[in-house]
Amino acid sequence: MTIDVYVMEASSPCRAVLLLCKELKLDINVKTMGKGDLKSQDYLKINPRQTVPAICDSGYCLNESRSIMRYLVTKYAKKDTLYPKDPKIRGKVDSMLDFDACSLFATIRQYVSPVFEGKGVNKQFERQLWLNFEYLENVFSDNKFVCGDNMTIADLSIGAGTLVVQLTTYDMTQFPNVRKYMEALASLPYWHEINAPFYKMRDNIKSKAAN
């Protein structure tokens, strides 16, 4: 059965879900949404919160990217490395997903949001952004991925969100472990395909800023 996946393709949470769908080799029907589509009566039945991503799987509809990822990997993964059944390891994955949602991506979004209006970054969030990346830098001093040597759904979420910093001139050279981690994710065979809409948006924004 094909899963309907509702997205705005450049969106970080949407890209995280699409990355997972590729990793799991799921049969999906991608429905690209515009802002007006989110308020349609049909979509309100799927997600009354009028946000993306959302999925419908045989009549079961779910929103919020990290909840979608937990659901998909629990139902469809053939191995449990992406979201381990061991409660201690799964606890770490959930902890990193929460760190991403509540601190890392939340800060990135606040830091970058003025850029979409043709303005500079919100420097009020620069210190918190540094603290978040410094935390990850220390995590990667011992681990290849955020929860150890195996990639998990937390990596797909964190990786998709961290790309957004490329909309700015933020200096990532101060975090060599984070850069190495992002390079490892970029080697995934589907990484550039799924992130292509973001790269196109990034290049358009930077081109406008240069003119």
30 in helix, strand or coil? Answer: strand
Question: Contact, 157 vs 97, CB < 8 A?
Answer: yes
pLDDT recorded at residue 211: 75
pLDDT of residue 210: 80
Tens of pLDDT along 145-204? 999 999 999 999 999 999 999 999 999 999 999 999 999 999 999 999 999 999 999 999
Q: Compute φ and ψ for 57, nearest 5 degrees.
A: -120, 100
pTM to 2 decimal places: 0.97
Instruction: Output the CA–CA distances (angstroms, integers) from residue 150 to 6, 41, 81, 93, 101, in the order listed.
Output: 28, 41, 7, 11, 21
Helix (H) or strand (E) holding 64: none
Q: Do the beta carbons of residue 64 and residue 25 sit within 8 Å?
A: no
Strand partners, 32: 7
pLDDT in tens, the chain (211 residues): 799 999 999 999 999 999 999 999 999 999 999 999 999 999 999 999 999 999 999 999 999 999 999 999 999 999 999 999 999 999 999 999 999 999 999 999 999 999 999 999 999 999 999 999 999 999 999 999 999 999 999 999 999 999 999 999 999 999 999 999 999 999 999 999 999 999 999 999 999 888 7
Whole-angstrom distance, CA of residue 4 vs CA of residue 24: 15
Give the pLDDT score at 1.
78
Residues 43, 46, 48, 51, Cα dihedral to 10°: -70
Give the span between the Cα atoms of 24 and 188, in whole angstroms. Answer: 13
Q: What is the DSSP letter of 33?
A: -
Which residue in this structure is represented by tokens 């490395």? 81
